[in-house]
A and B are shown apart, each in its own frame.
Chain A
């Protein structure tokens, strides 16, 4: 709380939306009780999600089938992993104001790292479980080292230059993966997961529900870590730095190390989501390392609402479902019958999502998660207004 006080002046003028509603100015009894309700609601939601594979809920048009079917579970699991990734990205962009174009690199590092580690350890004469565990640890360490290296270099510059350096590193990673050094990454074909040492419970269509639970676990884990970072001193300082770097420096705080810390944590979390991804998809494709993939993350976070933690989750899930449903729609007869002027744009999901994104940036600055706030206050919000400090 003390940290809050010293930096309080920087925070009080920022829109309450910039943090989460749980961090709204404390002091009144009503707002003191809200976190409890949110925690309870969140727990209930997680329990509900955990029970989904055992239920037969069918939402036509949104889900491809009832919730117990592998196809639907696969889609939902994928959406949750993307949500987890978006959550880690939001911590950097939304909280700390670091506009990175290279976050996909760490997701890919997790996915390819685990895949390559499992591959490399396959001939070793250890028990499968141990190999699986060691592979995960090795990947985590690799993600940590990569995040620390890239972060330490990129954070030496700020604003747009920071965006460019991260982009350059991600591009290098993407090139490296496509180049398939020593046959390790599978090049353009992608990497197929070597299941020799993957626990049986996580292999095969019949076990999709287990993978679903893993994905849910990843999402919850990432959420809790992000929450912890945001509430910590580092989170508050990073947020204050985004608002007004000069002021933080005047207080004698050097934001570099805290920003680096946040960069590293976000990178490792992205790697965790990547590991979930490679297990879920039984492989990885070079697409997940591209700049476009990061741009999609940016779209997700902004679509959901930069100012809100759960915005990233909503954005991730809405985006994945929309993408999937729009693709299905694109192939439908209804669309095929339309004249070209309508058929061509409507059969390109990314066109629709891109346009939607532009409209959100122009007319709905708080994103989806900002809608309730807007309806309450009836005024415009610009949670992403970090450019003053980002440009300095």
Chain B
């Protein structure tokens, strides 16, 4: 029983990270048809800069972590918005080329990160409490899981509120469903593109700082690894669906944890098989719009 609880909560924590990456990917793809392979780099740069600033302010304390998180969010948002503005926008509606540009950006940026911070992971400090455990139903749960889950819930709530309560949110929801009809109502949908990139980048930035807490290190490849799972999550959840991304994040991460524990560390493979199965049975994903 305690093992199951541990696996579920750890899965939820990992799912929180997946969600922070996948939410932006899914919104960006849903609204703009852009497959953003540079999303992992948004995460990595935020993790590095968040860590650099946080440790200078106060290493290994809550204050330092809070500063890291704020810096990470800001960096993610700014870098993502710049990417949209300088690269993606120039290739308006040319989806393959847009994807190609993000491929180039991801390769170049990872190389740059390696040049600056080296190829090996850099171990990071975190507040003491996050390194301890709490006993729930007999299971010793590392405390950082709770932080991840809480942050992901906050982000989910924030994005949902934004989408439901603001005019931009309305435009984005409508645009995901039928972009050309939004323009045919006299709305410049492109303005919301930058915004969506910024929001996605901010979520990924927070995800970067939190993944350095979860894994205990920062590295130039932090983003690439998470990005692959975020892709899988996005497709399973349905491209363009925020709720789908949230549900799929949890499903994928929990499934992965259980397979790793009970099926001899085959978590990654099981996830890929799950993806193939979902695509064959339901190509548009759990909650995706009809293709």
Do chains A and B directly touch (beta carbons under 8 Å) in the complex?
Answer: yes
Measured CB to CB, the residues of A under 8 A from B are: 99, 153, 156-157, 160-161, 163-165, 167-169, 171-172, 175-176, 179, 291-292, 295-296, 298-299, 302, 344-345, 347-355, 357-358, 361-362, 365, 382, 384-387, 390-391
Name the contact of B279 in the complex, choosing from A165, A175, A298 (C-beta under 8 A). Answer: A165
Chain A residues in 8 Å Cβ range of B111: 348-351, 354
Q: How far is the CA of A355 from the CA of B97 in the complex (A)?
A: 14
A-B contact pairs, 29 of them (CB 8 A): A156-B279, A160-B29, A160-B33, A160-B95, A161-B283, A165-B275, A165-B279, A167-B231, A171-B228, A171-B268, A172-B269, A172-B273, A175-B268, A295-B103, A295-B107, A348-B111, A348-B115, A351-B112, A354-B109, A354-B111, A357-B108, A361-B101, A362-B101, A365-B97, A382-B94, A384-B94, A387-B33, A387-B94, A390-B96
Q: Is the CB of B33 within 8 A of A391?
A: yes
Q: How many A-B residue pairs have CB under 8 A?
A: 134
Q: How far is the CA of A298 from the CA of B97 in the complex (A)?
A: 11
Nearest-neighbor residue (CB-CB) of B264 within chain A: A179
Q: Is the CB of A354 within 8 A of B100?
A: no
Closest CB of chain B to A116's CB: distance in Å?
Answer: 19
Q: How far is the CA of A296 from the CA of B103 in the complex (A)?
A: 9
Q: How far is the CA of A21 from the CA of B265 in the complex (A)?
A: 52
Closest CB of chain B to A301's CB: distance in Å?
Answer: 10
The verdict on B184 contacting chain A, using a C-beta distance below 8 Å, is no
Q: How far is the CA of A345 from the CA of B272 in the complex (A)?
A: 35
Nearest-neighbor residue (CB-CB) of B100 within chain A: A361
Chain B residues in 8 Å Cβ range of A352: 108
Q: Is the CB of B90 within 8 A of A362?
A: yes
Q: How far is the CA of A382 from the CA of B90 in the complex (A)?
A: 14
B-side interface size class: 35 or more
The verdict on B154 contacting chain A, using a C-beta distance below 8 Å, is no
Known: A99-B96, A348-B111. A165 touches B276 (CB 8 A): yes
Q: Is the CB of A353 within 8 A of B97?
A: no
Nearest-neighbor residue (CB-CB) of B29 within chain A: A160
Closest 4 CB pairs of A and B: A354-B108, A350-B111, A354-B107, A357-B104
Known: A354-B105, A355-B108, A358-B101. A168 touches B96 (CB 8 A): no
Q: Is the CB of A344 within 8 A of B107?
A: no
Known: A153-B280, A156-B279. A344 touches B96 (CB 8 A): no
Q: Is the CB of A345 within 8 A of B101?
A: no
Chain A residues in 8 Å Cβ range of B273: 172
Q: Is the CB of A153 within 8 A of B276?
A: yes
Q: Is the CB of A350 within 8 A of B110?
A: yes
Chain A residues in 8 Å Cβ range of B275: 164-165, 168
Closest CB of chain B to A305's CB: distance in Å?
Answer: 13
Closest CB of chain A to B64's CB: distance in Å?
Answer: 26
Chain B residues in 8 Å Cβ range of A164: 231-232, 235, 275, 279
Measured CB to CB, the residues of B under 8 A from A are: 29, 33, 35, 37, 87, 90-91, 93-97, 99-101, 103-112, 114-116, 224, 228, 231-232, 235, 239, 265, 268-269, 272-273, 275-276, 279-280, 283, 291
- With A296-B107, A352-B108 given, can you name 12 additional A-B contacts, CB distance below 8 Å? A156-B283, A161-B283, A168-B275, A169-B276, A291-B228, A295-B106, A350-B108, A351-B115, A353-B108, A354-B109, A362-B87, A382-B94
Chain A residues in 8 Å Cβ range of B114: 348
Q: How far is the CA of A171 from the CA of B37 in the complex (A)?
A: 15
Closest CB of chain B to A133's CB: distance in Å?
Answer: 33
Chain A residues in 8 Å Cβ range of B35: 160, 163
Closest CB of chain B to A380's CB: distance in Å?
Answer: 12
Q: How far is the CA of A44 from the CA of B101 in the complex (A)?
A: 37
Q: Is the CB of B268 within 8 A of A172?
A: yes
Known: A350-B107, A384-B97, A387-B94. A161 touches B115 (CB 8 A): no
Closest CB of chain A to B116's CB: distance in Å?
Answer: 6
Closest CB of chain A to B269's CB: distance in Å?
Answer: 6
Q: Is the CB of A298 within 8 A of B90?
A: no
Q: How far is the CA of A357 from the CA of B90 in the complex (A)?
A: 15
Q: How far is the CA of A382 from the CA of B108 in the complex (A)?
A: 23
Q: Is the CB of A385 within 8 A of B103?
A: no
Closest CB of chain B to A243's CB: distance in Å?
Answer: 13
Q: How far is the CA of A153 from the CA of B280 in the complex (A)?
A: 7
Q: How far is the CA of A384 from the CA of B96 in the complex (A)?
A: 7
Known: A99-B99, A164-B235, A172-B268. A354 touches B104 (CB 8 A): yes
Q: How far is the CA of A99 from the CA of B235 in the complex (A)?
A: 16
Q: Is the CB of A345 within 8 A of B95?
A: no
Nearest-neighbor residue (CB-CB) of A161 within chain B: B283
Known: A157-B283, A167-B228. A292 touches B272 (CB 8 A): no
Q: How far is the CA of A111 from the CA of B90 in the complex (A)?
A: 40
Name the contact of B107 in the complex, choosing from A99, A176, A357 (C-beta under 8 A). Answer: A357
Chain B residues in 8 Å Cβ range of A347: 115
Chain B residues in 8 Å Cβ range of A362: 87, 90-91, 101
Q: Is the CB of A391 within 8 A of B279?
A: no
Q: How far is the CA of A347 from the CA of B114 in the complex (A)?
A: 10
